[in-house]
Amino acid sequence: MSALEGKVCLVGGGGNGLGAATAQTLADHGARVVVNDLGTSVHGEGSDPSVAGEVAATIRENGGEAVAHAGDLTNAEYAADLVTATVEEYGRLDAVLNFVGILRDSIVYKLDPDDWTAVLETNLTGQFTLLQAACQHWRQEAGDDGLDTQRSYLAASSYAARGNVGQANYAASKAGVLGLVRTVSSEMYRSNVRVNAMIANAFTRMTETVPEEHRPYTREEMPPERVATFATYLASDDATDVTGCTLYAGGDRVGVFSPPSLDHVGVRPGGWSLDSLAEHFRADVAGDLDLTRTESYF
């Protein structure tokens, strides 16, 4: 029996790259798949319903079961309708994997406020709306008897969440995903729902926006399909109780990031003064920590 036989999986941003590879891999392992995508450019421009339709058609041609659903996940009403339509189509919803995202890169002092808003709306609000809609459905389904199996939500984040030159909007949106996941995983665990974030390294159309001489890897080195395998595992029952985590997948590697932690602490009875901070903060509180953190992670 396939690992996801009988499961129903909804893939947000499933029309390209990581989302498309994951939709196909889920179907290859027995899941019935709903492919959502608005069909915009990598910068969030335009729309094309055929983008989601082509991925669903390819899945069916390969012997899987899939339907397409074109729409904008920044719209909470649409996200709720998408969950409802999935349940109406297949009778249940077992996992949501959301890869929605756009880029509008610029150095912060040149960043257009409209580009800030567009990226935050797509990458963060587009996660919240679908996560909320799925959780509302799962809470209702749980009722008094609970869910028959644990449900799963996986949100796409990025290394840029740690900070990346020219990506203030993108980094803020992807860091916001991590806080969202840590919060909702605690809220939904009692309802038998797990919620995780994935930082993925793979060659996608976003990578192609980087000048070739600065690209960190090739498609052959970091294919989306390697990430899709880990994403599919996280949708399976084998990942039960893996929740609240920031996970990594890329190439031959998978992993788990440590949660935010307080590295060094200085305590001064009565509180700190400017003079005592000047005297002790670097040497005695920070110690050997490097406090000049300007690395670009892309």
d(CA 153, CA 89): 19
| Helix, strand, or coil (residue 33) | strand
Report the mean per-residue pLDDT for the chain.
93
pLDDT tens figures, 124-138: 999 999 999 999 999
The CATH architecture one would assign to domain 8-256 is 3-Layer(aba) Sandwich (3.40)
pLDDT band at residue 280, thresholds of 50, 70 and 90? very high
Instruction: Give the pair of three-digit tokens for residue 144.
Output: 């008094």
Extract the tokens encoding 185: 């995983």
d(CA 194, CA 94): 11
Given pLDDT bands bounded at 50, 70 and 90, which one contains residue 223?
Answer: confident
Measured at the CA of 10, the angle between CA 4 and CA 14, to 5 degrees, comes to 110
The CA distance from 86 to 7, in Å, is 12
Q: Strand, helix or coil at 263? A: coil
Please, what is the Cα angle at 41 between 218 and 34, to 5 degrees? Answer: 90
The full set of domain ranges for the chain reads 8-256
Whose CA is closest to 169, among 117, 110, 223, 239? 117
Beta strands in the chain (DSSP E): 8-12, 32-36, 65-69, 95-98, 151-157, 193-201, 246-250, 253-256
pLDDT digits (tens, 9 = 90+) for 53-95: 999 999 999 999 999 999 999 999 999 999 999 999 999 999 9
Percent of the chain's residues with pLDDT above 70: 93
Select which of 78, 90, 170, 248 is catalytic. Answer: 170
What digits encode the pLDDT tens for the residues 146-162?
789 999 999 999 988 88
- 170 has catalytic annotation: yes
Strands 65-69 and 32-36: parallel
